[in-house]
Amino acid sequence: MPLLLNFILDHTLAISGAFVALYFILCALYQLCFSPLCDIPGPWYAAISDLWLTTHVLRLQQCRTIDILFKRYGPVVRVGPNKVVFNDLSTTKNVYSVLKFDKSTYYKSLLTNDNDHAMTTLPHASHVSRKKGYAPHYTSTSLAQFQPEIHQSALELVKILGGFANGSAIDCLTLFRYFMVDIVTASSFGYSIGALSRWAIDVEHPLVTAIGDFPKRGILRSAVPAWAWKLVCTIPNRRWRQICDSDKILSEFVSERVYETRLQMVSGATEQSDRITLVQRLLRYYAEASSHTTSDRDVISEHMGHIIGGCDTTSTTLSYLFWELSRRPDIATKLRVELDTAMPDCQTLPEISILQDLPYLSAFIKEGLRLYSAAPSLLERVVPDSSTKTAIPEAFDLMGYALPPGTLVATQGWSMHRNSSVFPSPENFLPERWLENEENKAQIAAMNQHMMPFGTGSRLCGGQNLAQIVLRIAIAAIARNFNVFSPPETTETSMETRDSFVIFPASMACRLIFNPRKIR
């Protein structure tokens, strides 16, 4: 007995290691051979651990990786011990529109002010309640009230670009972010914060920097445990701390606007205005919805979510669209012919109703949203259990595979938009595919069904109408006044997309040259 005890003590580490190895081997065998998901095709190493997919998330290549798996294994692929992805229109409608599955906990990595907003609210029913507070703001009628501010910002953008007539390259990714901040804050608070003016004199605006940093913060939070995130944020590096503090910077800015607006509403100052800003709507909604006191924290968090979601996404799509113009003179010529007719005076922007009726401009934007939609990543949902209203009896039938409650399921716009049977030559930028004629109506209907640049189903992006308006006005204003060129440093390699839920160029910049047109 003493000999056995001495042997165990002398080999404790080895025995512990053997037990740990045995545990992982048994877990792997269960996932590969006995799990309810074991019959679903996919890489064996993905089935036994989430680590493989997480490495691609950290490498900013999740979208491409998932798309490669679809091509290799088919429209249903297992990418984790408890995660299944699919690429199928009927299933997409079923999960997101008919059954309206709740979101997964991944979205909690996008919390603002350490609090929920519409995007991070997981249950469908709770999201419906939140949506009522902001949905009226994004109707066409409401947004039309802010068209003068959008025109003003677009014309200021044209003036700034005109100041670089010497052929200097400009980082559009940053410039358009400043442009979008002015527009979103005007719609949100009733006045622009002058971000574009700051950019023009090369002065950083901390709010704009924080908005750009927030997605990076989100992917880091989603990839590391909570305790590790707190440790990461103690790293004594100024730029690193900026990223970690992006949520705090945004929260302080929005908090000041909320308190300022409440004082104006109490004093009756806002009653003299015909326009209702987003912050006013949210304050009124939460005041009426609350049985005791208004939740300022909810108003602040919700508003932060809208600012973040509205600025970086549209600025990225704009950057890619102008990059396409810089390398496709054929497209640029067709677009300008149409705009020259619709805008006889290049310094006067037409009403949005006129721009919405321009077929080639609409086709150009739609093709841009297909290839460069800012958030084409996995939209994770959870198969419900028996305690929910959308409970699935025993298991959810996903294209012939039975998924138990708690399974994570998802599709991604990246793959839906690159379905070669729906979009011929899917990697090519072809606005003409959207120009309707008698022969292609059925094809265009199929393409529209597969489009999800703003998400899909009941959780569709609330701000998509604002994004569509801004895209049209900005493209019309710039393409009418400038020829766009790419400098040597802006190449397909530098513009190759990376994704961290949202996309951005590999070089983290989109440098372009805007030369004024010689307009007759």
Give 332-399 as a DSSP string: HHHHHHHHHHH-SSTTSPPPHHHHHT-HHHHHHHHHHHHHH-S--SB--EE---TTSTT--SSSEEET
Average pLDDT over residues 155-159: 95
How much is the pLDDT for 9? 55
Higher pLDDT, 291 or 257: 257
Which H helix or E strand runs over 515? strand 511-516
Indicate whether 85 belongs to any domain.
yes
- The per-residue pLDDT for 390 is 54
**Cα dist from 495 to 315, 321, 472, whole Å:** 14, 12, 22
The answer to whether residue 23 is domain-embedded is no
- 350: domain CATH number is 1.10.630.10
Position 99 confidence tier, pLDDT thresholds 50, 70, 90: very high
Rounded Cα gap, residues 86 and 75, in angstroms: 5
Rounded-to-10 torsion of CA 263, 269, 274, 279 = -10
Please say whether the beta carbons of 311 and 335 come within 8 A.
no
What are the two backbone dihedrals, phi and then psi, of residue 111, each rounded to the nearest 5 degrees? -55, 145
Supply the pTM of this predicted model: 0.90
Find out whether 294 and 283 touch, Cβ atoms under 8 Å: yes
What digits encode the pLDDT tens for the residues 48-97? 999 999 899 888 899 999 999 999 999 999 999 999 999 999 999 999 99
Residues pairing with 504 in the sheet: 498
> Per-residue pLDDT for 19 more than 70?
no
pLDDT the model gives residue 35: 84
Q: Length of the chain in residues, anyone?
A: 520
Whether 41 contacts 77, CB under 8 Å: yes
Mean per-residue pLDDT, 195-201: 92
Average pLDDT, the chain: 89
Domain count, the chain: 1
Q: How far is CA 84 from CA 36, 87, 295, 494, in A?
A: 12, 10, 37, 32
Average pLDDT over residues 204-223: 82
Helices (H), 233-277: 238-244, 246-267
Specify the amino acid at residue 479.
Answer: A
User: Structural domain of residue 41, as residue ranges?
Assistant: 36-516
Return the half-sphere exposure (C-beta side, CA atoms, 13 A cut-off) of residue 489: 13
What is the C-alpha separation between 63 and 42, in angstroms, rounded?
16
Confidence at 196, pLDDT banded by 50, 70, 90: very high
Q: Tokens representing 123?
A: 């249950």
CA 312 to chain centre: 8
d(CA 360, CA 366): 10
Q: Give me 428's structure tokens.
A: 């090519």
- CB burial of residue 434 (10 Å; 0-12, 13-18, 19+): buried
Q: What is the CA radius of gyration of the chain?
A: 25
List all residues 6 or more positions away from 249 whose beta carbon is below 8 Å from its beta carbon. Answer: 206, 207, 209, 210
pLDDT digits (tens, 9 = 90+) for 218-243: 777 777 777 777 787 888 888 888 88
The model's pLDDT over 304-353, given as tens digits with 9 standing for 90+, comes to: 999 988 888 999 999 999 999 999 999 999 999 999 999 988 888 999 99
Residue 16 lies in a domain: no
Give the pLDDT confidence score for residue 392 in this predicted structure: 57
Q: What is the pLDDT of residue 227?
A: 78
φ and ψ of 120, to 5 deg: -95, 0
Q: What are the phi and psi torsion angles at 491 (to 5°)?
A: -130, 175
Which residues make Cβ contacts (< 8 Å) with residue 145, sequence separation at least 6?
A: 274, 275, 276
Q: What is the pLDDT of residues 345-365, one digit of tens each?
A: 888 899 999 999 999 999 999
For residue range 379-410, what is the model confidence (pLDDT) as tens digits?
Answer: 999 999 865 555 555 789 999 999 999 999 99
Which amino acid appears at position 422 of this protein? V
Q: What is the pLDDT of residue 214?
A: 85
- Does 355 reside within a domain? yes
- Place 30 in a pLDDT band, splitting at 50, 70 and 90: low
pLDDT category of residue 13 using cuts at 50, 70 and 90:
low
Residue 81 domain-assigned?
A: yes
* Residue 494 placed within a domain: yes
Instruction: Return the minimum-mean-pLDDT range out of 18-22, 122-126, 435-439, 469-473.
Output: 18-22
Residues 40, 399: Cα–Cα separation, whole Å: 10
**Does a structural domain hold residue 9?**
no
Least confident of 3-12, 123-132, 239-248, 470-479: 3-12
Position 21 in a domain: no
Per-residue buried b or exposed e for 449-487, using 16+ beta carbons within 10 Å of the residue's own CB: ebbbbbbbbebebbbbbbbbbbbbbbbbbbbbbbbbbbe
Give the Cα separation of 386 and 378 in Å (integer): 25
- Of the pLDDT bands very low, low, confident and very high (cuts 50, 70, 90), residue 147 is very high
